[in-house]
Amino acid sequence: MTASGKSTLAKQLSQALGIEYFTASTKWKDILPKKDFLFWESQRGLDAIKFRLSNLKYDRQLDRYILSHVKKRDDLILDSWVASWKINEKDMIKIYQKADLHTRARRVSFRAGMPQREAIKFMKEKDRYMHILYLKLHKIDVVNDLTPFDLVINSARLSKEGLRDVCLDFIKNFKKETQVY
């Protein structure tokens, strides 16, 4: 979900492992028609999600791009909302970060410069629209279905460095275990 720490962790893992970092969010600038949708944590971001709900072709285009990009790489850190449900590579490690609404709203409040109360209201609305979007588009429940993930971790309980270290440990152990078989 928004402000769970996906991008921060992905960038840290990319740097620590020396693996390319790719985020689906930056590709939206190329795909969506030229509108003022560039800041996701604002009313403009909500407007973009509403636009996407009525124009699913843009999400489908992004999905095709992500899938083709992933297939060209052996090692990649991918920051995406739905890739874990859509890509089924046996040696792919899938990590889901969660954080409670108030932690995520505090992060959005800080980043977007909005009062915490407004950030909570914004997050509830954005979460609802994103849930609807991915149910409609992919029949994926991004809120409740964590079955594709190898690791589910609460980013609200750890520092950025602690989260990175736990995930690095998991990745190293995952690779050791899968090489045995």
Domain extent listing, the chain: 6-170
Bigger pLDDT: 31 vs 82: 82
The reported pLDDT for the residue numbered 26 is 74
Q: Nearest to residue 81, comparing CAs of 41, 121, 138?
A: 138
Tell me the pLDDT band of 181, cut-offs 50, 70 and 90: very low
For residue 78, the 8-state DSSP code is E
Task: Please provide the distance, in angstroms rounded to a whole number, between the alpha carbons at the two ends of the chain.
Answer: 34
Report in angstroms the alpha-carbon separations of 34 from 81, 123, 167.
22, 24, 37
Whole-number Å distance between alpha carbons of 66 and 80:
9
Cβ atoms of 58 and 31 closer than 8 Å: yes
Work out the average pLDDT over 64-84: 84
Instruction: Report the SS3 class of residue 72.
Output: coil
Q: Which of 26-35, 40-49, 83-92, 110-119 is least confident?
A: 26-35
Report in angstroms the alpha-carbon separations of 116 from 42, 105, 108.
13, 6, 8
Instruction: Report the SS3 class of residue 26.
Output: helix
Parallel, antiparallel or unpaired: strands 77-79 and 95-98: unpaired
- Tens-place pLDDT, residues 91-133: 789 999 999 999 999 998 998 888 999 999 988 998 999 899 9
Range 24-45 burial, b when 16+ CB lie within 10 A, else e:
beebbeeebeeeebeebbbeeb
Task: Evaluate whether the domain defined by 6-170 bears CATH number 1.10.8.50.
Answer: no
Tell me the pLDDT band of 180, cut-offs 50, 70 and 90: very low
